[in-house]
Amino acid sequence: MLQQVNGHNSSPDAHGRKRLREDLQEFLGREAPLHLLDDLTKVNPVTLETVLRCLQARYMADTFYTNAGCTLVALNPFKPVPQLYSPELMREYHAAPQPQKLKPHIFSVGEQTYRNVKSLIEPVNQSIVVSGESGAGKTWTSRCLMKFYAVVAASPTSWESHKIAERIEQRILNSNPVMEAFGNACTLRNNNSSRFGKFIQLQLNRAQQMTGAAVQTYLLEKTRVACQASSERNFHIFYQICKGASADERLQWHLPEGAAFSWLPNSERTLEEDCFEVTREAMLHLGINTPTQNNIFKVLAGLLHLGNIQFADSGDEAQPCQLMDDAKCSFRTSASLLWLPEDPLLETLQIRTIRAGRQQQVFRKPCSQAECDTRRDCLAKLVYARLFDWLVSVINSSICADPNYWTTFIGLLDVYGFESFPDNSLEQLCINYANEKLQQHFVAHYLKAQQEEYAVEGLEWSFVNYQDNQTCLDLLEGSPISICSLINEECRLNRPSSAAQLQTRIESALAGSPCLGHSKLSREPSFTVLHYAGPVRYRTAGLVEKNKDPVPPELTRLLQQSQDPLLKVLFPADPEEKSQEEPSGQSRVPVLTVVSKFKVGLVVLT
């Protein structure tokens, strides 16, 4: 590698390498002052080892924030540190003449962003990107930033306007526990892992007072409702209603003490996030009254009972699969809680409707046992996804300010962290794809730009060999062929999906990419992507079906028959509504896949 030293290029020789090792050993030997270095640019030499040792020393000294130039590195303390986020500390950073000269802190970043909005003559929106691997503390950081702005962006003059502002701020803060209850879950890496991405827009008026907010969400992991990995849990809200319901509510929702639900694994674990009262109180502040809340929780209980429905193999393709004997009670309970007619519900799960030919003839085909289970899971995911979107719209209607009352915003981007599990599928592919985009954004707007600026100004500098992940992004989203385009193409082809065939297509079409690894030892079809954060192996089984995200139109029509007040809102009857999931014949239209929708969302963000 060529190094630029004092404007001259030189090749490192044995003497240079020896000197570097000596400098490194000397630096590593001075462990005492390491925790005093509050900026990683101050370590010398800057290597992976020295940076990690510096962060380790600060972590051991209970110092969890360290600057890295214009960015902030935060370490998860994995323990409560209340004095680190007190209102008094917020005001100290807000009142400081130069907050950047105080100790590194998330409040320093928040205050600098706030002053950037205030100091500009023409309003310019500001955004803070909170990124990191799963379990790094992104959700907590976003929560702290929202509390910080609720404190510093308030202070109206009159008592009446103060009460109005206080109510707005409280509603904004109350959106957190509701969205976390319905969108977060316990994973192998994190007890409170966000299973969706969100962009929070904090809206400011001309006096830089917070007048409202808006939430935009991305890619809810709705598959978690019906399928949880080993040692992981479903969304928090299911555990909250089972653990926190009163005796009367248990009777109403058919949730007796000690009841076992297939979709409620590891319920014996007690987490801080299992607090039902916090969620209910926050929902009240957002305008979701008690009857509506009870309706929501009744529907969720119906989904839990739906998960206990099992079918027996009919043994004859011409005959529908029947309910197992011990599932009949769960079936009736689920139908009752969801206010669905029993016979149409059972028939919809058992029999598939097919339209074929120019005359759109209707054929009825009994489903296999596996297909019955898939339709049951699809029903639950469809209801939960609509419920989540409805909650987001309710939250926005409660906290969003009139466009005439705000001029600028501060954005908080909290996107799911990089993930690598024993089994990785489309969810992890999209999550890690989003993290690759964020990494490239950082590389382009900080590292590349910084060094180009040094070169233009003629400053003496040493080239930093950083990792540019554009090659990995090309593999994932490049044109004309990429992993995303190949998965989408498989969705468009009118043929059964083959996991082995998809693996072969990816490996042959993208063989030249240095970021595509090979999984020769894998027992099942898969491919490996060498991400900037490490290699991840993705199983190809089920990828195409998840990307299609098919919803049989008869499931939607069934839910439109429900007499439940909430489901009638989530699934309004529309005689002209046509499902794009199962088009046929000449009416076939391109399917908007999960990957396609996700890519559009990323483009909007960046």
Q: How many CB atoms lie within 10 A of CB 157?
A: 8
Q: Is 190 part of the annotated catalytic residue set?
A: yes
CA-nearest of 489, 455, 407, 401 to 172 is: 401
Q: Distance between CA atoms of 446 and 275, rounded to whole angstroms?
A: 41
Q: Binding site residues, as ranges?
A: 132-139
CA-nearest of 136, 215, 149 to 438 is: 136
Catalytic residue of the set 111, 169, 371, 419? 419
**8-state DSSP, 401:** P
Q: Is 315 part of the annotated catalytic residue set?
A: no
CA-nearest of 147, 134, 136 to 82 is: 147
**8-state DSSP, 439:** H
Question: Is the Cβ–Cβ distance between 218 and 389 less than 8 Å?
Answer: no
The DSSP string of 93-157 is: HHH-SSGGGS---HHHHHHHHHHHHHH-SS---EEEEE--BTTSSHHHHHHHHHHHHHHHT---S
Question: Is the Cβ–Cβ distance between 67 and 38 less than 8 Å?
Answer: yes
Q: Does an H or E element contain 323, and which?
A: strand 322-323
Indicate the pairing of strand 126-130 with strand 534-539: unpaired
Q: Distance between CA atoms of 446 and 460, rounded to whole angstroms?
A: 18
Q: Is 194 part of the annotated catalytic residue set?
A: yes
Q: What helix, strand, coil percent values describe the chain, rounded to 5?
A: 50, 15, 35
Q: Binding site residues for ATP, as ranges?
A: 132-139
Q: Distance between CA atoms of 51 and 53, rounded to whole angstroms?
A: 6
Q: How many CB atoms lie within 10 A of CB 175?
A: 24
**8-state DSSP, 606:** -
**8-state DSSP, 418:** B
Indicate the pairing of strand 8-10 with strand 184-185: unpaired
Residues recorded for the chain: 606
Task: Give burial (CB, 10 Å; 0-12/13-18/19+) of 262.
Answer: middle
Catalytic residue of the set 134, 217, 469, 482? 134
Catalytic residue of the set 131, 141, 174, 194? 194
Q: Is 110 part of the annotated catalytic residue set?
A: no
Q: Is 116 part of the annotated catalytic residue set?
A: no
| Contacts of residue 267, Cβ cutoff 8 Å, sequence gap at least 6 | 233, 239, 242, 243, 261
Q: Is 11 part of the annotated catalytic residue set?
A: no
Tell me the CA distances in angstroms from 69 to 5, 58, 164, one per residue in order.
21, 17, 39
Question: Is the Cβ–Cβ distance between 50 and 28 less than 8 Å?
Answer: yes
Extract the runs of DSSP E, i.e. beta strands, from 131-262: 184-185, 193-194, 197-204, 210-218
Q: Is 175 part of the annotated catalytic residue set?
A: no
The tokens for 337 are 């809680």
Question: Is the Cβ–Cβ distance between 297 and 564 less than 8 Å?
Answer: no
Catalytic residue of the set 417, 424, 436, 497? 417
CA-nearest of 14, 69, 7 to 38 is: 69
Q: Is 417 part of the annotated catalytic residue set?
A: yes
- The backbone torsions φ and ψ at residue 108, rounded to the nearest 5 degrees and listed phi first, read -65, -45
- What is the chain's alpha carbon radius of gyration, rounded to the nearest angstrom? 27
Catalytic residue of the set 63, 131, 135, 302? 135
Greatest C-alpha distance within the chain: 83
Indicate the pairing of strand 408-414 with strand 126-130: parallel
Catalytic residue of the set 193, 308, 348, 547? 193
Which residues have a catalytic role annotated? 134-135, 139, 190, 193-194, 417, 419
